[in-house]
Amino acid sequence: MNQTKLKYLQDFTLLESVSRVVETSQENERNVVILDETIFYPQGGGQPYDRGIIEGLSGKFAVEEVRFIDGVVKHIGKFENGVLNTGDEVKCLVDSQRRKLHSRIHSAGHVVDMAVTSLNLNWVPGKGYHFPDGPYVEYAGNLGETDKERLKTDIENLCNKFVDENRETKLLLIDKEKMKEVCHFVPDYIPEDKPARVVMYGDFGVPCGGTHVGHLGDIGHMTIRKIKSEGENVRVGYDVDRIID
């Protein structure tokens, strides 16, 4: 089977598009729809999956979960009516409120990284958890004798300074070697089964395949919940306001 074209990688503002059904099946008693191209974000990179609707002339499918497996995006859910057949042209609609919140939280995690970098803390970026139930970013490093409360305030103030600057988000589809020219840190592992992409916040670049806000001002106010040591790592918990105009 051909790989699914990931339209969200090139334009994460797309919440509505037209695609064609490649295959429908059942896995573990759940319905699966595979499209030739998709705007639905599959869970990964610390960001939750999208939800929404895939609808054609012959049926309507509620997307409850999205997964990326061996280059193919699987839209998992249930038929609200009718069926979808191989070859059908379908309209895809992403749940915009869910996407907006996840994009704000994800971008905010990278803003924390901008603040940490600006403070010259010499922490090495690790995993990020950008789910609504307690997002955080983790770094290889230690706190030593650092005043955690003062550091928390310093990071929070810098984060909101960057948000207020309202830097524009731009995307670069480039290979891993080129990433080192625009990113402050490039991890050893970059997925090989999808195009490599850098997200630029002004002149600050981060290798990332997730969805993001168009401008940092769209994040809204940020809060640093806590900073703590986790073994040989430092975890910075953060949050964004859940109600934003």
Sequence letter at residue 218 = D
Query: How do residues 112-129 score in pLDDT, each as one tens digit?
Result: 999 999 999 989 999 999
CB distance 207 to 96 below 8 Å: no
pLDDT for position 245 = 52
Average of per-residue pLDDT across 137-164: 94
Average of per-residue pLDDT across 61-82: 96
Query: How do residues 9-67 score in pLDDT, each as one tens digit?
Result: 999 999 999 999 999 999 988 999 999 999 999 999 899 999 999 999 999 999 999 99
Whole-number Å distance between alpha carbons of 153 and 169: 25
φ, ψ dihedrals at 62, nearest 5° = -90, 115
CB distance 47 to 102 below 8 Å: yes
**pLDDT, greater one: 142 or 137:** 137
Q: CA 11, 16, 18: angle at the middle one, nearest 5? A: 100
Query: How do residues 193-233 score in pLDDT, each as one tens digit?
Result: 677 899 999 999 999 999 999 999 999 999 999 999 988 99
Question: Which residues 6+ apart lie within 8 Å of 41 measured at CB?
Answer: 8, 12, 47, 49, 50, 66, 94, 99, 102, 210, 211
Average of per-residue pLDDT across 76-101: 97
Q: Please state the pTM of the whole predicted model.
A: 0.93
Q: Which CATH class is domain 5-94?
A: mainly beta
Sign of CA dihedral 142, 148, 154, 160: positive
Q: Which CATH class is domain 98-240?
A: alpha beta
Domain boundaries, the chain: 5-94, 98-240
CA distances (Å), origin 1, targets 22, 31, 45, 75, 169: 9, 18, 24, 15, 33
Position 155 pLDDT exceeds 70: yes
Tally of CA atoms within 13 A in the half-sphere of 39 that contains its CB: 20
pLDDT for position 213 = 96
